[in-house]
């Protein structure tokens, strides 16, 4: 029997546990895993105001009470948190516990308090840079595997390859340790060297790698066969993502049709999704945002923003979330592109980042969004026009039926001409 898997299930299979963690080996790598969508450009102005721990709690409490998108704050008497911690907060650790407990009561995984270190790390990701060696890792049966190496990063330049197993870090045996334990061992200041003992096949070897500032590349592109271009957006988090996307469009100017790959893209900045969607739309609505007071703000496409009218196919999967879903629904609902792959993640909430005292921050859900057709996709996702699975044999054999189908679809569109109706029958 040929069992079919989507990409998310494949990752779960590889990691052998539901707790799948893929992250950069960087000082504050867990921030990368957050799905963060900011309705405004995140302010990089850190609030250096020195506040007592109790005052930090009160400011987070007040901001949450008056800005959270749901006025009932998850059907609770929110004032109870102020009463509960009255005269109880003495240290910064006390404040963190109180703030996190308060936010957890919202039952909203996207509203989070950020320590000074986490807030700084988030801003670095928005700047599309971080300090590290430039690899993605995963834990498989207690072993730490390198699953991706960033081109031209320190690890890449030292010959490290996907599939290498990390055995020791600075002479510390990491067998059986979690991803987070490993990242604690590998943390170091910029320019400090890290000693890695690795296993490749049956060969053990040692690499001394110096950490560097790494530029994150969120957009990649290439020319496929049959006059089709391919652009992958790995994240919408980078401030330069729209600019990099336009560069990719220009480099693929001779392509007659485009595949845009949003698989595994868990989101990013709200305005990036708006800007990139508008590159393909000269009319219609991109997204509708419902604020705390119930007011609906509609973000229309602007004709002067449209620069590409080529046929489009978008690749999506269960990890395509948030800003990826804004773009997917904008192009789908406006009949501008077809979606190919599996149903998306389903995150229809919007966050804003607030700079809090003591250089900390607060990611808070302040609104929800609807698709151009008025659908609420939160916890539901977006069903693609063509559901194409991804089997384990595809993963092992490095084949991509979803991309193959997109190329087949676009080739047919180009044969039929621009007046050909979107879609064709699967065979």
Q: Which long-range contacts (CB under 8 A, 24 or more apart) does 85-91 make?
A: 85/54, 85/57, 89/53, 89/54, 89/57, 90/53, 90/54, 91/53
Report helix, strand or coil for 54: helix
Task: Give the burial class of 59: count Cβ atoms within 10 A of its Cβ; 0-12 exposed, 13-18 middle, 19 or more buried.
Answer: buried
Half-sphere exposure of 97 (CA within 13 A, CB side): 9
The C-alpha atoms of residue 383 and residue 389 are separated, in whole angstroms, by 13
SS3 at position 112: strand
Catalytic option among 244, 317, 333, 394: 333
How far is it, in rounded angstroms, from Cα 191 to Cα 213? 9
Whose CA is closest to 37, among 328, 367, 419?
367
Nearest 10 degrees: Cα torsion 208, 210, 214, 219: -20
* Residue whose entry in the numeric block shows the structure tokens 């590889």: 14
Structure tokens at 220: 């990649």
- Annotated catalytic residue, options 139, 277, 322, 329: 322
Is 94 annotated as catalytic? Answer: no
For residue 79, what are the CA distances in angstroms to 58, 87, 346?
11, 15, 31
Give 234-257 as a DSSP string.
--B--TTHHHHHHHHHHHTTT-SE
Does residue 141 carry a catalytic annotation?
no
| C-beta of residue 209 within 8 angstroms of C-beta of residue 25 | no
- CA-wise closest residue to 11 among 328, 319, 232: 319
Is 178 annotated as catalytic?
A: no
Indicate which residue of 54, 347, 368, 407 is catalytic: 347
Cα separation, 254 vs 227, whole angstroms: 8
Contact between residue 209 and residue 154 where contact means Cβ atoms under 8 Å apart: yes
Q: How far out from the chain centre does Cα 224 lie?
A: 25
- Annotated catalytic sites, by residue? 322, 333, 347
């Amino acid at each position: 029997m040929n069992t079919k898997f989507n990409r998310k299930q494949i990752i779960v299979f590889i990691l052998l546990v539901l707790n799948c963690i893929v992250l950069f080996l960087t000082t504050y790598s867990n921030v990368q895993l957050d799905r963060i969508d900011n309705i405004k450009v995140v302010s990089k102005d850190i609030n250096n105001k020195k506040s007592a721990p109790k005052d930090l709690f009160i400011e987070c409490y007040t901001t949450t009470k008056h800005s959270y998108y749901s006025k009932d704050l998850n059907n609770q008497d929110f004032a109870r948190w102020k009463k509960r911690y009255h005269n109880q907060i003495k240290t910064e650790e006390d404040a963190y516990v109180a703030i996190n407990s308060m936010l957890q009561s919202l039952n909203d995984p996207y509203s989070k308090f950020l320590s000074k270190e986490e807030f700084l790390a988030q801003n670095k990701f928005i700047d599309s840079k971080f300090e590290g060696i430039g690899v993605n890792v995963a834990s498989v049966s207690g072993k730490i595997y390198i699953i991706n190496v960033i081109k031209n990063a320190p690890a890449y330049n030292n010959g490290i390859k996907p599939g290498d197993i990390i055995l020791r870090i600075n002479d510390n045996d990491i067998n059986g340790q979690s991803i987070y334990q490993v990242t604690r061992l590998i943390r170091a200041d910029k320019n400090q060297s890290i000693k890695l003992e690795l296993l490749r096949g049956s060969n053990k070897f040692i690499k001394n790698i110096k950490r560097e500032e790494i530029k994150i590349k969120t957009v990649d592109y290439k020319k496929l066969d049959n006059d089709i271009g391919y652009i992958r957006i790995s994240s919408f988090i980078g401030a330069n993502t729209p600019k990099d996307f336009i560069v990719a469009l220009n480099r693929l100017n001779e392509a007659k049709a485009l595949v845009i790959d949003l698989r595994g893209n868990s989101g990013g900045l709200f305005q990036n999704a708006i800007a990139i969607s508008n590159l393909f739309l000269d009319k219609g609505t991109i997204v509708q945002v419902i604020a705390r007071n119930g007011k609906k703000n509609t973000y229309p496409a602007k004709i002067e923003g449209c620069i590409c009218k080529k046929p489009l196919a978008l690749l999506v999967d269960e990890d395509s979330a948030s800003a990826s879903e804004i773009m997917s629904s904008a192009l789908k609902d406006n009949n501008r592109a077809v979606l190919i792959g599996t149903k998306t993640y389903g995150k229809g909430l919007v966050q804003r980042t607030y700079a809090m005292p003591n250089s900390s921050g607060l990611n808070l859900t302040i609104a929800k969004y609807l698709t151009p057709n008025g659908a609420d996709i939160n916890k539901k996702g977006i069903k693609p026009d063509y559901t194409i699975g991804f089997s384990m044999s595809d993963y092992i054999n490095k084949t991509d039926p979803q991309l193959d189908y997109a190329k087949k679809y676009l080739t047919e569109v180009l044969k039929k001409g621009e007046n050909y109706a979107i879609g064709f029958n699967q065979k």
